[in-house]
Structure 1
Amino acid sequence: MFSTGQLIFALFFILAFTVVLIVTYRKDKTIHKKNYKGFGWVGLGFTVFVIILFLIKHMLNK
């Protein structure tokens, strides 16, 4: 399906992308704490809302 070169490229791309994301997040961590207070609650509420929607969908399909 994929050649060896393509698989190696994908592996290195994913590795490099992950490293860049981690470094960038650590660099901006203090700014995020200051500007995005309370985001954890919003994220938790959104996650609970999506779970409830999936449960309703599952119940209505029975």
Structure 2
Amino acid sequence: MFTPGQIKFSIFFVVVFIGIMIYVYRKDIQLHKTYYKGSIWVLMGFIAFIAVLFVLKTTLKS
């Protein structure tokens, strides 16, 4: 399905992309701590909302 060159390129691309993302995140970590200080609560609320929707769907289905 894929040629060996395409597979090598995709692996190279993923490794380089992840490396650049780690480098950029480490470079901006102080800004993240300053500007995104309560964002974990937003994430937790979103996950809880999705969990409630899933529970409602499964309970109302039967």
| Fold shared, TM-score > 0.5 on shorter chain | yes
State the TM-score, normalizing by the size of structure 2: 0.89
- How far apart, in 1, do the equivalents of 2:58 and 2:10 lie? 36
Query: 1:26-45, aligned counterparts within 5 Å?
Result: 26-45=26-45
Q: RMSD of the alignment, in Å?
A: 1.1
Provide the identity percentage. Answer: 44
Matched, 1:21 2:21: yes
Unaligned runs of 5+ in 2: none
- How far apart, in 1, do the equivalents of 2:8 and 2:61 lie? 43
Aligned equivalent of 1:60: 60
Matched, 1:47 2:52: no
Equivalent pairs counted in the alignment come to 62
